[in-house]
Structure 1
Amino acid sequence: MHGSTVLHTFTNTGYDGPGRRFPGFPNAFDARTHVLSPREAVKLSIKPGDLLSVEGAGSMQPLDLAALAEGGQPMLAALGLSQTGLVEWDGFDSAQFSGWIAARDGDQRVPCYRFDQSSEPVIIRASQTMTVWLIRPVGVAGLIEGSGAGNVTVLHKPAAKRDVQLPPLLGDTRDEFTIPRGSAMAYELKAGEFVQIIDVEGQQCSDFMALRADGLDRGEEWMIDSTATRSMVRRAFPGPGLLDKFFDRDMRPLLNVVQDTCGQHDTFGLACTARGYEERGFPGHLNCSDNMTNALVSYGVKKRTAWPAINFFWSTWVDPASHHILTEESRSRPGDYVAMRALEDLVCTSTACPDDIDPINGWNPTDVHVRIYRPETPIRRAVAYREKEDALMSISQESAFHDRLAPLTQHFAPARDLWTPVSYPAHGTLGEYWACREAVTVQDMSGLRKFDIVGPDAEALLQLATTRNVAKLPVWRGSYTLMCDESGSVIDDGTLFRLAPEIFRWCCGSEESGRVLQELADSRGLQVRVHALRGTMPNLAIQGPKSRDLLRKIAFTQPHVPSLDHLKWFGVTVARLNDREGAPFMLSRSGYTGELGYEVFCSKSDAVAIWDAVMAAGEEFGITPMGSAALDIIRIEAGLAAANAEFAPGVDAFEAGLGFAVDLTKSDFTGKSALQRNARDPRRVLKGLLIGCDDVPAHGAPVYAGERQVGVVTSAIRSPMLEHAIAMARLSVEQVENGIQLEIGQLDGRMKRLCATVSDIPFIDPQRKRARA
């Protein structure tokens, strides 16, 4: 079928994970796995002898492959493939691909090969260097309805193990150099330039210090000051966003972090010293402090026995019990980096730490690489995101709505792999809160995870995986439900929608849900596909008492699906924008606020148009964009659970206050036996606490009855509606009667106590009448 390049076909794909092994695909553990969701495109750099394994492509799940030279010329023949069509630009989110073609003045009629003849995996080999674009085309309507969903897996296996590969360039470099292990180098940065410090082989500490160049010209050493920095940013670790800068002792910013792919550093310790090695029996050992002194001497910097430093890639933490500083092997992986922008002219030094007697460098010191980029380089803010510890890294992306969000706020925070607004300064968190209570708000919720579960055994799979009776869920209805492990602990919560008898859409908080579903389907031999929609379906939450009035102006539905006014709580339908020719979207009556509200799920290509329509239609109702800070207030008032707060590993569904979503009368499901046992003899219950002041306790604050701790705070805020602080807390069953007086410990739990009264949750609208209105 694919000419001489077909090496093997097979049906048993074995382990499904990063670097997975295929029969007939030897030594595949160093292969890179790419899972293409509908309408997604992925670019691969291919060398001679590289192998590509394509699995899951077929007539129902087409995959287009375009092979192009650096200048944009077609190269399908170098893969042994012949042209079967042209790339269909409207079949995928093509902005990145079109930009690549335009940069090379290429022809917009790009030949491609379509894998649509067989669903059996194949392996092909490249004979030349090229760029391969893998494109998963799906019509927008098919994506919304779930009928066009499907994932295709492609493994890229390099021909042979190559030298250590540095990460791709971030832009136009002025200089770059490698710092050999056990050494240090000094270099200059001009204001506006970027420096990228790269851990070449992984688990290698690199100490960094920067001094103001104008200070050195005057014989003054104005350098990064750990105390000033910690005081100014109120956090110990660097991160892109608002709290990202390093300051000198006069609180003047010197650098700000732009990208960080590791996320674990010790930013305020000393670089290693000669004394530190001497006192452990290693006199004369190389050390970073001496190396930094020697590197900076030509700039007139005074010698120091011990240098303070930002210790990039060094994994440290404070033990919560002993308060000792602990360390272990670094969490950085090969190619991890930190990129910073200079805010002043600076003299900097970086090291490749020589420590080989501690775990901090993985017991094996290696090199560090430094790149300096020109000021005009457009390096965007980003952090690394991995779906799982051993998964491939992705850099945080801007939402499909970002072009409309960016002019409204600069206060973003990462939500999984997307930047999400925290608040909007024109309204403020309280303004957004009251708009949701009294009018209507719109919020970007694209960080939610969505999975389509499709096939004849879809219902059977979801009966096994979730805690509610899926057999009772009609088409065009949704249900809030849970996924639990065998101990009854909540893995994830979300809303399950039924779009057809054999098609479900699971909207949830974590990719772990998808892995659980796939593993369960594989273990039971079920005929079902679990499709991760990834970034292909952004969504908005339109919440508040005026939300229905707004949507009446823009939501058009066909007679064969429920209309907007027919949607009851957790109902779902497929609508179009304004009329039968408008952009399609899935519309559900759901949300995370306890108010009347809806959620809109659309294609990336239609996101901006839908945002504009929502804002225009909502103008007469006083529509307000809302961020995550206001949402957190509202969800706590509504008594809605959150991951890593109300539910976490070791906390079962009943202890998390989610027993209402568990149907113990249904057929067997994961965790049922444990939940049955725990329901008969609970030890902890989630309750509300009304706090008699405006002090807001921290997550994890202890709750006391006299001298004994009887619970722990899971979430707390000051309620604007109740005008005092409230908290949700997990309490021992002996202390859950409404009206019991307890105390929340502040400081050490004893020096300060907040008086609290046990109450039911939700705190506002306990019958959910507002959401059901």
Structure 2
Amino acid sequence: MKKPLATQLHEPALFARSTRVHTQSLVPGKTRILLLEAGDQLTVVNVEGNQQAEILALNEQGLCALESLGLSNNTPNNTLHQSLSTHTDCPDAFKTLIQQLNPLPCSVNLWDEALPAGYRLTLIASDKMWIVLSIPDCKTPVDSQARSSELELILTRLDAQALPTLPSSLGEVVNEFTLHPGTARAYPVKAGEYIQVIDVAGRQCSDFVAFDFTALNQGQCVELDPTVTRTLNGHAYPGPGLFSKFFDQQMQPMLEVIQDTVGRHDSFALACTARYYESMGYMGHDNCSDNISHALQPFGIPSKPGWPAINFFFNTQINEHQQMTLDEPWSRPGDYVLLRALKDLLCVSTSCPDDIDPANGWMPTDIHIRLYSAQEHFSPAMSTRTLPNSEPVLTRKSGFYPHLSALTQHFTEYRGWWLPTHFNGYGSLQEYYGCRERVAVMDLSALRKFDILGPDAEALLNYCLTRDIRKLAVGQVVYSAMCYEHGGMLDDGTLLRLGPDNFRWICGEDYASIWLREQAAKLNMKVWIKSATDQIHNLAVQGPLSRELLTQLIWTPATQPSVTELGWFRLTIGRLNDYNGCPLMVTRTGYTGELGYEIWCHPDDATALWTQLWEKGKHLGLVPLGLEALDMLRIEAGLVFAGYEFCDQTDPFTAGIGFCVPLKSKQDEFIGREALLARQAHPQHKLMGLRILGNETAHHGDRVYQGRAQVGIVTSATRSPITGQNIALCRLDVRYCTLGTPLQLGKLDGHQKRLEVEVCAPIFYDPDKTRVRS
């Protein structure tokens, strides 16, 4: 007899599956305040190792409780007291307690020695107590290795909680209320005020409609309109995500999205209706549309059987047959959307009662609404998570942002950072030619930087990267792939060797550090992997005049090569202007196919670097460079981009970077070697170039045909200013990779409209790299 089969779920971020265990991060410069009941356990994980933290423990009477945690003999350290004085979101009970204490009891270091990555310390509360944890924000210069890193906090409650607690408010709250499943509420919002829709327990949908309040007072019903909003935002139909602005029937903006910690919603499908539940056999089931109509009755607004609504947290997909499917929401406990009212509004929010499908994770929970004063200012941001249960990190601004924002308002979110797409008064073409003909500067601080340190650093990197790291000299830089066991690429990047046991991996993927740490643990290696992204920002200075510009800026000691002497894929350590200037690192690297450099500095020195660079570059015709121009430059140079030319299903050979996998000369074992040997021996696809014979452009995802058969797909495409041709990079079946092979690029359904193309080499500009090597 077979036993009943249960679904085997792995849902690390879903609260409903584990109401006793809560995981959160403590990042440098921040403070966490936790209330523990008797029997609760707090485990602190030293994620990257060698990171100090400070702890304060108080019982209900305000007395020191460190002794009951076994920490009373640790080294005193009262810098935490200063951070508490500026902590704005203390729980009210804790704030009341510490206001009665003068002075505060002593805080101590959490541990008194250097600890390895992954070390865990578990503290058990003997009675009810407050725990305060803080990491000092150590602002170290670019040439130092002492990086502050985060700690992971795992709180295990003795008793399960019904729901997570609400997150702290973002600012001055003018009104707030909780919506239980199957309820809706109408509420006025004044122009300029902010609306925060909070998913308290995670995976819970909330429908939202809005009306022009002034028009309602004049007897007109002007509401949020899905067709107008999609049209003005250039979208054809509802799809996952949110629009930046939402409009009413008269094409007037009503709301703008300021922050979103989820990134996955369905804008403007209908709120759930009675007819939907009836069609499933659930007559009389609560539904959001009827609840919205009921909430609007006092305002004289006619009811509707189905309300077009912003479906916050609702996870739908539209498949290739134009059918809408759904699954559980992506939202985690405390996730939210923050909107700003652009006029006086009457709004309605719901907490969806749907418990007959995955729309609310099969278990509807609460939605909380907060309204904030118009006097508050919240920076536009979305959030990223390295892992599903990681704390959300809102979009960041680099140290160069104040200078960039003075030149443009056109920014886009790129891997958790705001980067400019193009600049006012320049435009992508002028920026492009500025780089090809003179010199251009671009903020690339969004690149991830990880320091790998210790006696086993070389061995670890040689195992995790495809290049032969043992051949890398101090002061040298190498481009490499990082692969999984099956040969698919995790990421690409550049590795810098700063010393015999000191390396810096620069890439685009946050997960790379976790991957490296996991491999080091498996091999029991003595090595540290430290995150350095927030401590090192960088500018790319590219173009034929880049060397001339930097020789005026960079001072180097006699022990380091000067900018003039610096070879291709080499680095030097220097300072800005002279011996006493701020520390900098310069690498002769770039992503444009031109002679170029990257300058690396601490964020605190970003203003000094930008000011000097911008001032001394004027007479050379220096231009700022945005992402749009960079895309043209890198496609012409045949340089690959994550998510386009490669992914975890693509090996380096297929991605066109097989040169960084020396299978014959590298004798050491490395991750993916066996799979790559097989893939190299039996290639299916190859990265090639396409010249489009005409003036129509190709786009990422366009299919390439030989007759009726699809034989390739466009990975990147652009109109090349310097060649005057429309060009593309294409992942092509190896049978059609002969140079000059005529093929067709399909538009519409791939058959009704086609463009004639010709296969060519995947480098369209300076294939011998004479300029970048000059």
Confirm or deny a common fold (TM above 0.5).
yes
Distance 1:28 1:314 in 2: 23
Q: How far 1:275 moved relative to its partner?
A: 1.5
Distance 1:663 1:359 in 2: 48
Work out whether residues 456 and 502 of structure 1, in 8 Å CA contact, stay in contact via their aligned partners in 2.
Answer: yes
Q: How far 1:111 moved relative to its partner?
A: 8.3
Match status 1:155 vs 2:153: yes
Equivalent position SS for 1:560: coil
- The C-alpha deviation readout for 1:551-588, integer Å capped at 9, x for no partner, is 11111112222222221111012111112221112211
Q: How does 1:551-566 map to 2 (within 5 A)?
A: 551-566=550-565
Match status 1:435 vs 2:434: yes
Work out whether residues 547 and 596 of structure 1, in 8 Å CA contact, stay in contact via their aligned partners in 2.
Answer: yes
In the other structure, the counterpart of 1:34 is 25
In the other structure, the counterpart of 2:408 is 409
In the other structure, the counterpart of 1:7 is none
Distance 1:319 1:534 in 2: 37
Q: How does 1:585-734 map to 2 (within 5 A)?
A: 585-665=584-664, 666-667=666-667, 668-734=669-735
- The C-alpha deviation readout for 1:194-241, integer Å capped at 9, x for no partner, is 11111111111111110111222232221111111111112455868x
Work out whether residues 238 and 245 of structure 1, in 8 Å CA contact, stay in contact via their aligned partners in 2.
Answer: no
In the other structure, the counterpart of 2:490 is 491
Q: How far 1:341 moved relative to its partner?
A: 0.7
In the other structure, the counterpart of 1:23 is none
In the other structure, the counterpart of 1:144 is 143
Identify the match of residue 54 of structure 2 among 46, 60, 65. 65
Change (3 A) 1:224 1:151: closer
Change (3 A) 1:468 1:221: same
Q: How far 1:189 moved relative to its partner?
A: 1.0
Distance 1:347 1:447 in 2: 39
Q: How far 1:47 moved relative to its partner?
A: 2.4
Q: How far 1:604 moved relative to its partner?
A: 2.0
Distance 1:180 1:416 in 2: 35
Equivalent position SS for 1:743: strand
Distance 1:546 1:44 in 2: 49
Moved more, 610-619 or 571-580: 610-619
Q: How far 1:55 moved relative to its partner?
A: 5.4
Work out whether residues 499 and 505 of structure 1, in 8 Å CA contact, stay in contact via their aligned partners in 2.
Answer: yes
Q: How far 1:696 moved relative to its partner?
A: 2.0
Tell me how many residue pairs correspond in the alignment. Answer: 733
- The C-alpha deviation readout for 1:711-746, integer Å capped at 9, x for no partner, is 110001111112221100011112111111111101
- The C-alpha deviation readout for 1:665-714, integer Å capped at 9, x for no partner, is 21221112222222222221111001123322221111012222111100
Work out whether residues 412 and 422 of structure 1, in 8 Å CA contact, stay in contact via their aligned partners in 2.
Answer: yes
Identify the match of residue 45 of structure 1 among 33, 49, 53. 33
Distance 2:88 2:378 in 1: 21
Change (3 A) 1:336 1:158: same
Distance 2:616 2:495 in 1: 28
Change (3 A) 1:768 1:343: same
Distance 2:618 2:437 in 1: 14
Equivalent position SS for 1:390: coil
Moved more, 571-580 or 154-163: 154-163
Work out whether residues 87 and 111 of structure 1, in 8 Å CA contact, stay in contact via their aligned partners in 2.
Answer: no
Match status 1:746 vs 2:734: no
Distance 1:135 1:394 in 2: 19
CA RMSD of aligned residues (A): 3.2
Change (3 A) 1:604 1:131: farther
In the other structure, the counterpart of 2:315 is 315
Q: How far 1:497 moved relative to its partner?
A: 0.7
- TM, length-normalised to structure 2: 0.88
Match status 1:226 vs 2:226: yes
Work out whether residues 442 and 623 of structure 1, in 8 Å CA contact, stay in contact via their aligned partners in 2.
Answer: yes
Distance 1:282 1:648 in 2: 44
Q: How far 1:34 moved relative to its partner?
A: 3.3
Q: How far 1:462 moved relative to its partner?
A: 1.2
In the other structure, the counterpart of 1:189 is 189
In the other structure, the counterpart of 2:216 is 216
Change (3 A) 1:31 1:56: same
Distance 1:465 1:687 in 2: 27
Distance 1:98 1:306 in 2: 50
In the other structure, the counterpart of 2:391 is 392
- The C-alpha deviation readout for 1:603-635, integer Å capped at 9, x for no partner, is 222222222222122222122221111111111
- The C-alpha deviation readout for 1:96-140, integer Å capped at 9, x for no partner, is 999659999x99x99864444353754556875465321153642
- The C-alpha deviation readout for 1:151-192, integer Å capped at 9, x for no partner, is 463535366555521122111111001112101111111111
Change (3 A) 1:671 1:181: same
Letter in 2 for 1:275: R
Distance 1:97 1:619 in 2: 46
Distance 1:341 1:596 in 2: 45
Work out whether residues 454 and 529 of structure 1, in 8 Å CA contact, stay in contact via their aligned partners in 2.
Answer: yes
Work out whether residues 239 and 260 of structure 1, in 8 Å CA contact, stay in contact via their aligned partners in 2.
Answer: no
Change (3 A) 1:194 1:55: closer
Moved more, 77-86 or 442-451: 77-86
Work out whether residues 63 and 137 of structure 1, in 8 Å CA contact, stay in contact via their aligned partners in 2.
Answer: no
Distance 2:155 2:434 in 1: 53
In the other structure, the counterpart of 1:459 is 458
Work out whether residues 51 and 149 of structure 2, in 8 Å CA contact, stay in contact via their aligned partners in 1.
Answer: no
Distance 2:45 2:707 in 1: 62
Letter in 1 for 2:251: M
Letter in 2 for 1:691: I
- The C-alpha deviation readout for 1:50-82, integer Å capped at 9, x for no partner, is 765555599x9462527599xxx9989698557
Q: How does 1:213-362 map to 2 (within 5 A)?
A: 213-235=213-235, 236=238, 244-320=244-320, 322-362=321-361
Match status 1:117 vs 2:113: yes
Change (3 A) 1:276 1:168: same
Structure 1: runs of 5 or more not aligned: 1-16, 20-26
Change (3 A) 1:570 1:361: same
Change (3 A) 1:688 1:295: same
Distance 2:105 2:136 in 1: 12
Structure 2: runs of 5 or more not aligned: 1-10
Distance 1:213 1:42 in 2: 41
Work out whether residues 76 and 106 of structure 2, in 8 Å CA contact, stay in contact via their aligned partners in 1.
Answer: yes
- The C-alpha deviation readout for 1:309-333, integer Å capped at 9, x for no partner, is 111111011112x221111111111
Q: How far 1:260 moved relative to its partner?
A: 0.9
Work out whether residues 553 and 578 of structure 1, in 8 Å CA contact, stay in contact via their aligned partners in 2.
Answer: yes
Work out whether residues 47 and 158 of structure 1, in 8 Å CA contact, stay in contact via their aligned partners in 2.
Answer: no
Q: How far 1:337 moved relative to its partner?
A: 1.2
Q: How far 1:32 moved relative to its partner?
A: 3.0
Letter in 2 for 1:642: F
In the other structure, the counterpart of 1:133 is 134
Equivalent position SS for 2:634: helix
Work out the percentage of aligned pairs sharing the same amino acid: 40
Change (3 A) 1:523 1:378: same
- TM, length-normalised to structure 1: 0.88
- The C-alpha deviation readout for 1:235-289, integer Å capped at 9, x for no partner, is 455868xx50111122111111111111111111111111222222222111111
Work out whether residues 487 and 674 of structure 1, in 8 Å CA contact, stay in contact via their aligned partners in 2.
Answer: yes
Equivalent position SS for 1:135: coil
Letter in 2 for 1:420: L
Q: How far 1:655 moved relative to its partner?
A: 0.9
In the other structure, the counterpart of 2:3 is none
Letter in 1 for 2:497: R
Distance 1:28 1:211 in 2: 38
In the other structure, the counterpart of 1:14 is none
Distance 2:393 2:769 in 1: 39
Letter in 1 for 2:743: L
Change (3 A) 1:56 1:301: closer
Work out whether residues 64 and 136 of structure 1, in 8 Å CA contact, stay in contact via their aligned partners in 2.
Answer: no
Letter in 1 for 2:30: V
